[in-house]
A and B are shown apart, each in its own frame.
Chain A
Amino acid sequence: MEIADDLKEIDEKLVNKLHQIAKDRVEYWDIRVGVNHGTNLDFTDQKSKEISSYEITECGIRTFINGGWGFYVLKDINRESIKEGFQKAIKLANLSESLNKNKFKIIERDPLIQNFKIVSKQNLEDIDIEEKIDLVIQHEKTASKYSSKIKNTHTLYLDGHAQGIFINSFNSNIFQDLSFLRLFSLAYAQENGILQRAINSVAGIGGYEITETKKAKSLSSKTAKEAVDLLKANSPIGGKFTIIMDPKLTGTFIHEAFGHACEADHVLNKESILEGRIGEKIAIDEVNIIDNPTMNQSKKFNLPYELFGCYFVDDEGIPSQKTVIVERGILKNYLHSLETSSRMGEIPNGHGRASSCSSRPQVRMGFTYLEPKDWNLEEMIEEVKNGILCEDFQYGYTDPTTGNFQFKCKLSYQIENGKKTQLMRDVALSGMTLEILNKITAIGDQNTYNYSDGSCVKGGQSIRVCDGGPYIRIENITVGGLN
């Protein structure tokens, strides 16, 4: 494996020197260095708006003294700049420590010395730019040809190759070589003065093979169909309804409304509805919630690449692992970083993640999902007199202090007397997270289970995540509407 020149600067001699500088001055430190290359293609109506390529190097040095952190970011990477940055980072930790009131220690963990590499079937570097452009144009054409009602198409292709080194004061030394690819399709349909848009994406860790699955190939036709279908959709009438969520929406609910409350930094900052509730029953017996960002899960979904939200090791050198958050309705674990696990007397479970070497790790989710049970979708619908089947989401958010959430669904179908009927758009669901977990009346079986991928933003940092679950049915949810 060929290692980027800038990373070769981080040799044994430099690492020994850093250990020496830090000795007796800081309690913990880590350093992350990354070299990133990539391509961005942005097409609108089959014309290129952006065709770009980049090369970015960056380094983040983190230091810790008795509750206070220092973080120094530099872009010009060489032995001297790193040594100098390291001294500055120590000074910053001292400043933080001087005003910090929450004193604590970082508990030492076993060192990890390992190289990780994603073996892609088709290396991104081996694919000509012309081929990538052709792929984007084909998607643009497919979307615009779908119907004369499609007035506008937009396709975005992003790929990247990242090499990184992680070193910390526990003597960990990790090298990673990853590549990823993301493809977005947007379509705007118009008829009789009504304009509707749809957006879909596929993403994965791996190479160009990510673009060749059935899911990726049908991306733009699916998007165009949704935009055209939405033209005929009705606006919802507000009120209380029985709701069936599809796997994408279930996943979003589990991630957005529930998962963030399990992040131990939120718990410590008193921003979580789950503070002090480990061991308590918070949901009905049938609810099991997991976060499992380990690699090698893609076979379950028949995909030839790693899932977008997965990783070998987090950005604090802790291997990814399966964490049971809720078991039979009982809250079992929070998600932890080195800091939160040290403070709460837990074992770190690999959720200290950062968007890049220039950002400091926070507690973040990986692949969060609700485990399937035993209902099939037909049975779930049959019992509903007046309800809504909600598919996919546009966006969602939650008030962390109360658990009051809101999700805007993408496609929603009215359910009348056990039958799925007309399509509705912009259905907005609202409720209180913990009430919902106790109002679930049906959880779908393995056949209804699926996952989706995307980005999650917290504290200005965007990271890759997955979430999922089966179809679920919930009683008595507030739906907002214009009418």
Chain B
Amino acid sequence: MDNPDIFALAKFGLNLTNEENSNVKCAEIFFGQNKYINIEIEENSLKNSEIGEDNGVAIRVINDKGSLGFAFTNKLEKKSIDYIATIAIKMMNVGTPNPDFKNLPFSYKNYPDVKDLFDKDLKNLQLEDSLKFVKDLVKICEEDEIAISQSANFISNYSKTYIFNSNGLEISGKETSCSLSSYIIVKDKVSKETSFGSEWQTERMLKNLDAERIAKDALIDAKKNVNRKKIKNMKVPIILSPKGTINLILKPIASAVDGETFQHKRSFLVDKRGEIIGSEYLNIEDNGLMAGVAGSSIFDGEGVPCTNKKIFEKGKFLKSGLLHNSYTAGKEGIESTGNASRSSYSSIPSVGITNFIMKAGDFSLEEIIKSIKEGIILDYTGDSPNISTGDFSGLILHGNLIKNGEIKEPLNETMVGINLLDLFLKIDAVSKESKVYGVYQAPYVRIKSVNIIGGAN
């Protein structure tokens, strides 16, 4: 994948957009090269070994009126670049004016030093060397008495990105990542009831992957959820596990502070900037600079340096707490926050998080559980809140009763309903313990009182 001369192709592509009668105000050429390994386990046995590559190039052009044209191909050759440049310009010329489109980023003198984004062990990884993860995952499930099946996979990725634009920006970088996920099914020997549990991990460095831990945690998760019980309606405190916190606090806030969602007033946080809307335990930041973490990067999808920014401080939604790419920032007349997100060369930059983190607190998890006489621990729901209204009502797919400070039976057909603004104010404890799931980091969070709709009425 190192073969084509990207710099020569980039120069060729930008020159094509710079011809006199092209009407192009600014242009960008983006190259993405990607190699991956994917190993899949099904029925607790190695099923599929896969290797693949995805290389491509995209051209984005904007004219004086702010009309944007975009085209991409996965052929890295002059002929194809010529073709997409022509198409992108044609697209731009037929597009509608958009005065909000100010400009593409200019070149930056300094980029942050973000450590451990690239691991040469991962770049050079052979599929044969990855099989040890498979063996570890399979073993944990095989040796357990009530585990009956596991689906799991290992993915490694090596990518190179090159961004060039007509404002002189020129940046390239290489990154690696690897991930493991495990989904285990258990069946109770007596009741014959089945349940699933899951766990996953994404890392930049291969040495940090821990297959045994992942399979064990998936197993614990599955076992916690066998022999479920229906309960009656109640209004009680709930504890969100880190997965629950991601579901109900981090993901909704991440969507709501997306500059674009916000500017279109589609967010339940519109008109709340600068206000205290949560308890003092609500502290959130988007940090793209942490060493070795999945969401970190030196530059974003437009070549803008990544940053660390606070979103919520002691319950206050900060005025500066929005995430921007160059377009949404230009619309507000400010600098991009380095949050242009591009999943591959085939997508135009949107706004996305880097690492989205809820700050850990002072309580131990044990203390928090002990503090509850009657309540619920919510681990996982397939639902997500309505970002426009903040309303949430969902099914607790994984959750347990808490009685007299102890975690008890798992819940069946139990639903929970609350508005997020209400939830933020009702946070009254946050744990010291925190877990990392890819680009999210979350503690356990206690919410004062929430409506629970049981299936036993």
Interface residues of A (CB under 8 A from B): 43-58, 67-76, 88, 92-93, 95-96, 99-102, 129-130, 133, 137, 151-152, 188, 190, 194-197, 235, 238-240, 265, 268-271, 358, 360, 395, 397, 399-402, 404-406, 408, 426, 428, 430-432, 478-483
Contacts and interface: CB of A to CB of B under 8 A. Distances in A.
Given A99-B46, A404-B412, A478-B413, A235 B391 contact: yes
A394 B49 CA distance: 36
B43 A482 contact: no
Given A100-B46, A269-B185, 6 more contacts: A51-B92, A69-B48, A269-B151, A428-B383, A480-B453, A482-B393
B91 A482 contact: no
- The 8 tightest CB contacts between A and B, nearest first, are A73-B52, A480-B415, A406-B395, A397-B382, A52-B70, A238-B453, A71-B50, A48-B95
Contacts, number: 242
A68 B52 CA distance: 18
B438 interface: no
A92 B127 contact: yes
B87 A88 contact: no
Contacts of B83: 55
B289 interface: no
Nearest to A407: B395
B264 interface: yes
A95 B129 CA distance: 11
Given A57-B74, A481-B417, A100 B47 contact: yes
B455 A69 contact: no
A231 to B, nearest CB: 11
A408 B383 contact: yes
B418 to A, nearest CB: 7
Contacts of B100: 47
Given A92-B51, A137-B96, A482 B45 contact: no
A400 B397 CA distance: 11
Given A188-B388, A430-B415, A95 B128 contact: yes
B49 A57 contact: no
6 contacts: A69-B47, A102-B45, A133-B96, A197-B388, A399-B196, A478-B453
Contact of A426 (B80, B148, B386, B457): B386
B50 A70 contact: yes
B49 A69 contact: yes
B405 interface: no
Contacts of A53: 70-71, 84, 87-88, 91
Contacts of B453: 238-239, 478-481
Contacts of A402: 193-195, 228, 412
A401 B415 contact: no
Contact of B49 (A70, A129, A397): A70
B227 to A, nearest CB: 11
Contacts of B131: 95, 99
Contacts of B87: 53
Given A68-B47, A406-B383, A265 B394 contact: no
B395 A51 contact: no
A146 B415 CA distance: 36
B400 to A, nearest CB: 15
Chain A at the B interface: SS class: strand
B348 A50 contact: yes
Contact of B196 (A88, A99, A401, A408): A401
B273 to A, nearest CB: 16
Contacts of A196: 388-389
Contacts of B449: none
B69 interface: yes
Contacts of B185: 269-271, 401
Contacts of A271: 149, 151, 185, 196
Contacts of B14: none
Given A55-B75, A71-B48, A73-B53, A195 B395 contact: no
A76 B451 CA distance: 56
B253 interface: no
Contacts of B98: 47-49
**Most chain A CB within a 10 A radius of its CB, from B91, B268, B386, B419:** B91
Contact of A238 (B92, B96, B268, B415): B415
Interface in B353-386: 382-383, 386
Contact of A52 (B67, B71, B193, B417): B71
A431 B453 CA distance: 13
The winner among A75, A130, A240 for most chain B CB atoms within 10 A is: A75
Contacts of A57: 74-75
Contacts of A43: 96
